């Protein structure tokens, strides 16, 4: 729990400590990626090597729904029902343990056309070295293929977003050709009503519809105390990657994921379209291969 709150501390203050020079300028953005440069807020060091994606604005208003699946499957039926209702293909990050415990549910997610990425095997909140991480990523993809007969998409998300404090994880995962999908917007959905940081779903939606603005924010993990940091006069979600969880923590259907339909309806009404994270696998590796060819052509013969 202490490591989780340390990571959350970084979520809250990282946007304030990051200067404008940490982002791409118009001239620096790779020309082979379809991005609206004026709103691009990606990690410069990691994006140059195609390791980490946190926002992806394009010419059309776009939004990415992502769901982490490391605990139980209590909310999965609700999530799939809402996604079917609005004909949205989303992205799920599953652990090996989740696949092992719920093989039929994982096949159901895949059969409905959603993208499935790697969330490590055990959801270890404190990976100590490269071998531990790569073993878990590899074991998860093997089990996924065994259960579904499909190849897992080469995207992953670190448990607890610990890559923020351990950037070596991003480089290590590239050895298995995994691109990391970060989180631009989420909620303290692991705290309950009796905890001071608790933000109800109603309070979140009030902020979402009127004030939350991701244009200049990175890890906006919102709670009762920090939401003002991420607010502006008008909402803005262009290119946002949002995190919700499949498992349940709060009783009586008060989990954050139960804002899903309201989030979708608001975004549709305001002209957004929904995309999934498979495009990052394709774009990142296209760019990487292009860079490799360029480097090879400049090498002495």
pLDDT 10s per residue in the chain (301 long)?
444 444 444 443 333 333 222 222 222 223 232 323 333 334 434 444 568 999 888 889 999 999 999 889 999 999 999 999 999 999 999 999 999 999 999 999 999 999 999 999 999 999 999 999 999 999 999 999 999 999 999 999 999 999 999 999 999 999 999 999 999 999 999 999 999 999 999 999 999 999 999 998 889 999 999 999 999 999 999 999 999 999 998 988 899 999 999 999 999 999 999 999 998 887 666 655 555 544 444 555 4
Residue 95's Cα: distance from chain center in Å?
14
pLDDT of residue 20: 26
pLDDT of residue 283: 65
pLDDT of residue 88: 98
Rounded Cα–Cα distance for residues 93 and 78 (Å):
17
Cα 137–Cα 143–Cα 147 angle in degrees, nearest 5: 145
pLDDT of residue 59: 87
Rounded Cα–Cα distance for residues 106 and 98 (Å):
8
Instruction: Tell me if 100 sits within 8 A of 88, measured CB to CB.
Output: no
pLDDT of residue 187: 96
Instruction: Tell me if 243 sits within 8 A of 185, measured CB to CB.
Output: yes
Rounded Cα–Cα distance for residues 256 and 119 (Å):
20
Q: At what angle do helices 103-111 and 130-148 cross, to 10 degrees?
A: 70
pLDDT of residue 11: 41
Rounded Cα–Cα distance for residues 24 and 42 (Å):
7
| Greatest CA separation for the chain | 67
Rounded to the nearest 5°, which phi and psi values hold at 296? -65, -40
* Helix, strand, coil fractions of the chain, as percent rounded to 5: 45, 15, 40
**Which residue(s) pair with 156 in the sheet?**
118, 180
Residue 178, sorted as left (phi over 0), alpha (psi -120 to 50) or beta, turns out to be beta
Q: Please tell me the number of Cα atoms within 13 Å of 191 on its side-chain side.
A: 20
Rounded Cα–Cα distance for residues 146 and 227 (Å):
43
Rounded Cα–Cα distance for residues 36 and 147 (Å):
38
Task: Provide CATH code, domain 2-17+43-298.
Answer: 3.20.20.370
């Amino acid at each position: 729990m202490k490591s989780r709150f340390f990571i959350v501390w970084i979520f809250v203050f990282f946007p304030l400590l990051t200067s404008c020079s940490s982002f791409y300028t118009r001239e620096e953005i790779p020309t082979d990626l379809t991005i609206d440069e004026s709103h691009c807020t990606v990690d410069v060091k990691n994006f140059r090597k195609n390791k980490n994606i946190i926002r992806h604005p394009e010419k059309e208003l776009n939004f990415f729904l992502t769901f982490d699946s490391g605990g139980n499957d209590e909310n999965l039926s609700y999530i799939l029902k809402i996604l079917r209702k609005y004909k949205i293909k989303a992205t799920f990050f599953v652990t090996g343990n989740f696949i092992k415990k719920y093989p039929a549910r994982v096949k159901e997610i895949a059969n409905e056309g959603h993208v499935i990425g790697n969330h490590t095997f055990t959801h270890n909140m404190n990976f100590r070295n490269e071998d531990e991480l790569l073993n878990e990523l590899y074991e998860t993809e093997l089990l996924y293929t065994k259960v579904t007969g499909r190849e897992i998409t080469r995207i992953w998300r670190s448990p607890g977003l610990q890559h923020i404090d351990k950037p070596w994880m991003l480089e290590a995962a590239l050895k298995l050709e995994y691109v990391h999908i970060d989180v631009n917007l989420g909620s303290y959905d692991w705290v309950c009503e009796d905890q001071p940081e608790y933000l109800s779903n109603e309070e979140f939606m009030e902020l979402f519809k009127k004030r939350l603005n991701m244009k200049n924010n990175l890890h906006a993990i919102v709670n009762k105390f920090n939401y003002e940091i991420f607010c502006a006069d008008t909402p803005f979600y262009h290119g946002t990657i949002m995190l919700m969880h499949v498992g349940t923590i709060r009783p009586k259907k008060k989990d954050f994921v139960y804002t899903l339909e309201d989030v979708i309806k608001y975004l549709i009404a305001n002209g957004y379209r929904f995309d999934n994270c498979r495009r990052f696998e394709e774009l990142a590796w296209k760019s990487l291969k292009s860079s490799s060819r360029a480097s090879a052509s400049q090498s002495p013969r």
